[in-house]
Amino acid sequence: MFDKLVQNNKKIRKKNTFNRRITHLISIIQNYQYIEWKTSKKYYLDLLKKEICLSYNYSIDLVEKFFNIIPMEEIDEFFKSNETPRPLTIRINSIRNGEENFQNNLRNMGIQKIFEEKLLNFAGIIKRKNIRLGKNPEFLAGYFTLQGLSSFFSVIALDPQKGERILEIAAAPGGKATFISQIMENTGICIANDKNKSRLNSLVSTIHRLGIENSIVTNFDGSFFHYKMKGFDRVLLDAPCTGTGIISHDERIKLHKINSAILINTTLQKRLLISAIDSCKINQEKKGYIVYSTCSILIEENESIIQYAVEKRNVKIVKTGLSFGIPGFVKYKNEIFNKKMHFCRRFYPHIHNVDGFFVCKLEKNK
């Protein structure tokens, strides 16, 4: 009933009025033990949730989900951050150009290079707002490509090595698959698979534009990919999800029927992850690795899926190799997860200024 109120709310209330009320309610909840009157804490929590729904146009169910994850002292900043677009970033393509030759052009284009992490040397943040990248000659020639910074993290965790056989099980539009090939310097084989045939043209186009020569594009249902091919050294699954980490890109997510969306997505995520594990090889000489990632911050789509895989297959959670991010949840409500779940990494827009993201690395055992 309250969701209809949110959608049909025609009153124009100033944003700063909402923000003052939200800030005031958070202050009451945080200092509740010092308040003399006897109104229940739950009353103020419910009031705060409804105020956020009206202010930012969310469904009450999704707000409830976020309140179970985000600490009270971060709630205000979290919802504000979902209203602000993330910085636009690119990946510099070392296959098409030597870094030294291209570096001078970056400044002229209004792009600041990042040097924070070894593999993030390939990233740049766009500072100018009037850049038309789609018509930029360097973009068309494949010197760089648009890629969200958070999508770098799963490839860094995968840690591709030269000469390996690597699978990305849901690869379109191709940012991660081409980054894998770039790190491998066009050696080995990278299978870029996607079930959706309509997305393959853009995937193939990206591969050609960036000068990738070690990729093979396939069009199989990822849930059954292990019946088609096996024996990969590493497998990346960036799973379809509710997109609760990318609300700043798509405000329609705010009003999704989140509970039914979770049910649909988690069913698919479990099947895809089991298929990814079964597609990965294991032998005495070399271990196999699987990286699971989503652009969701919901525990149901992340830690719960990893817990399912650990119980169904002989895999263990290992360190991602990422020196930043927040550890995964080891406990949620009445659920106790695998004790190594803290090796997973979570990223939030209000803390890291990137899209909300989750990364977990699994090692396949005999």
Report domain extents, the chain.
2-81, 89-146, 150-364
Residue 355 is assigned to a ligand binding site: no
Cα gap 149→236, rounded to integer Å: 17
Residue 100 has pLDDT above 70, yes or no: no
Q: Do 89-146 and 150-364 fold alike per CATH?
A: no
Average pLDDT, the chain: 88
| pLDDT, tens digit (0-9, with 9 covering 90-100), for 63-90 | 999 999 999 999 999 999 999 988 888 8
Per-residue tokens: 78: 């979290």
Instruction: Check residue 128 and give its pLDDT.
Output: 58
Q: Which entry of 190, 295, 344, 360 is annotated as an active-site residue?
A: 295
Per-residue tokens: 187: 């050696």
Residue 175 is assigned to a ligand binding site: yes
Instruction: Check residue 102 and give its pLDDT.
Output: 66
Cα gap 351→164, rounded to integer Å: 35
User: What's the CATH fold of domain 150-364?
Assistant: Rossmann fold (3.40.50)
Instruction: Check residue 7 and give its pLDDT.
Output: 42
Strand, helix or coil at 251? helix
Q: How far is CA 1 from CA 9, 54, 144, 329, 350, in A?
A: 12, 13, 48, 32, 30
Residue 172 is assigned to a ligand binding site: yes
What percent of the chain stands above pLDDT 70? 87
Residue 173 is assigned to a ligand binding site: yes
Query: Does 190 qualify as catalytic in the annotation?
Result: no
**DSSP secondary structure of 352-366:** HSS--EEEEEEEE--
Residue 221 is assigned to a ligand binding site: yes
Are the beta carbons of 154 and 291 closer than 8 angstroms? Answer: yes
Residue 3 is assigned to a ligand binding site: no
Q: What is the mean pLDDT of residues 300-323?
A: 97
Are the beta carbons of 358 and 297 closer than 8 angstroms? Answer: yes
**Residue 118: pLDDT band by 50, 70, 90 thresholds?**
low
Q: What is the mean pLDDT of residues 132-151?
A: 84
Residue 46 is assigned to a ligand binding site: no
Residue 171 is assigned to a ligand binding site: yes
Q: Which residues contact 104 (CB under 8 A, 6 or more apart)?
A: none
Instruction: Check residue 1 and give its pLDDT.
Output: 34
Task: Tell me the CATH number for domain 89-146.
Answer: 3.30.70.1170
Rg of the chain on CA atoms, in Å: 22
**Residue 362: pLDDT band by 50, 70, 90 thresholds?**
very high
Instruction: Please identify which residue in the block is written with the tokens 């985000």.
Output: 70
Residue-wise burial string across 93-131, b where 16 or more C-beta atoms lie within 10 A, e elsewhere = beebbeeeebeeebeebebebbeebebbebbbebeeeeb
Indicate whether this model's pTM tops 0.75: yes
Strand, helix or coil at 276? helix
**Residue 134: pLDDT band by 50, 70, 90 thresholds?**
confident
Residue 120 has pLDDT above 80, yes or no: no
Q: What is the mean pLDDT of residues 104-125?
A: 65
Cα gap 181→95, rounded to integer Å: 9
